[in-house]
Structure 1
Amino acid sequence: MNIEVLEEPSQELIDYLRKKISDFNWANWEVSERFPLAIQLKGESGDVVAGATARSFGDWLLLDTLWVSEDLRGLDVGSQILKEIEMAGKARGCRKCFLETLNFQAMPFYEKHGYKVQWVQEGYPRTGCQYFMVKQL
C-alpha cells in the first residue's frame, strides 16, 4: 500500500470518497430518504433575489442556506422565507429544524425566530465562531 498526501486532489477523487461515505451512511442510517426543498423569490427582471435551501429527513429539516440580496435586507423578506420553509418542512412531517451560521452571519436573526444555540465552535476558522442552532417546529 502507498499512502499519498495530495495537495491538489482531483474533484473526481473528492466525489468518489464522498460517495463512498454517503453509500455507507445510507446503508446504516435509520432513514432511507432525504428530500430537497427550496424557496425562491424572483425580482421584476426574473433574477433570484432571495431564497433558501433545505433537506427533510426523518423528524428533521436541515436548513442549508437562507440568502437575501442586500437591497431587500431589513424588509422582513428573510423572516417570510424562513417561515415558508419551516411550514413546508412541517407539512413533510418535520418536527425540528437544524442550521449552522457564522458569527458574522445571522445568529441574532435566527434567535429572534426561536432558534436556540446548541453548540458553539469557537476559533472557527481562526478567531470567529460557528453556531449550531435548533428549533422545535
Structure 2
Amino acid sequence: MFRIEAEVDRARRDLLHSRLRDTNTAASPVLAALRGTPGAREVPLQVWALDEAGGLAGGLVGHTWATWLHVTYLWVDAVHRGAGLGSHLLARAERIAATDRACTSARLETWDFQAPRFYRKRGYEVVCVIPDYPPGITEYTLTKRLPVR
C-alpha cells in the first residue's frame, strides 16, 4: 500500500531528479560516457545587460548540459527592444556555451506572441509546435547547431 501526497518538497524533488538521472544514465551509452565530465551536470548560464543607472535592461537565464545550451528565459525591457540587445544577449550565451562549455547545440521554447520570428532570424529552426498550450496560445520549441569553436 502506498500513501500518495501532493505537496511541494524540495528534498524529495532533488532525490527524484537524482534517481531519474541515474536511471537515464544507466540506460544511455551517451549519457554514461558523460559521467564525470563537465557536461554530465546542468551548469547555470546567465547573461545580464544593465542600463547606465545599473538597472536591469535585459537578461538571459539558462543552463548547459550534455553539449546543449538550454535557454530558459530571454527578456529585454520594452524601452530597449529593437536596438539589438536581445541578439547580443543570445549571441553571448551561445558563445559561452560553445567556447567555454563545448556545446554544439541550443534549444529553447517560446510562444507565438513572444519571439519565434526573432529566433528564426538567428538561425533557430522550429522542431515542435504545440497548439493551444496554454489555451489560445501556440508554443514552439526551436533548436540551433552552434558553430564549433
Question: C-alpha distance in 1, partners of 2:56/2:22?
Answer: 36
Q: Distance in 1 between matches of 2:60 and 2:12?
A: 27
Structure 1 residue 33 displacement after superposition: 1.4
What is the alpha-carbon distance in structure 1 between the residues aligned to residue 97 and residue 41 of structure 2? 14
Aligned alpha-carbon RMSD (Å): 1.5
CA distance in 1, matches of 2:14, 2:97: 26
Q: Which segments of 5 or more consecutive residues in structure 1 lack a partner in the other structure?
A: none
Flag as ranges the 4+ runs of structure 1 deviating above 3 A: 1-4
The alignment of Structure 1 onto Structure 2 pairs a total of residues equal to 131
Q: CA deviation at 1:16?
A: 3.9
Give the one of 15, 22, 26 matched to 1:20. Answer: 15
Residue 43, structure 1, aligned to residue 51, structure 2 = yes
Q: Report how far residue 34 of structure 1 moved.
A: 1.5
Secondary structure in 2 matching 1:114: coil
Counterpart of 1:105? 114
**Aligned counterpart, 1:58:** 66
- For residue 25 of structure 1, report the CA deviation from its aligned partner: 2.6
TM-score normalised by length of structure 1: 0.87
Give how far 1:24 is off. 1.4
The structure carrying a bigger helix percent of its residues is 2
The correspondence for 2:104, drawn from 89, 95, 114, is: 95
Tell me the alpha carbon deviations over residues 66-106 of structure 1, each in whole angstroms, 9 at most, x when there is no partner.
Answer: 11001000011101111111111101100000100011111
Per-residue deviation at 1:20? 3.0
Shift of 1:2: 4.1
- Matched residue type, 2:124: Y
**1:124 match: secondary structure:** coil
TM-score, normalization by structure 2: 0.81
Return the alpha-carbon distance in structure 2 between the equivalents of residues 62 and 3 of structure 1.
Answer: 32
Counterpart of 1:125?
134
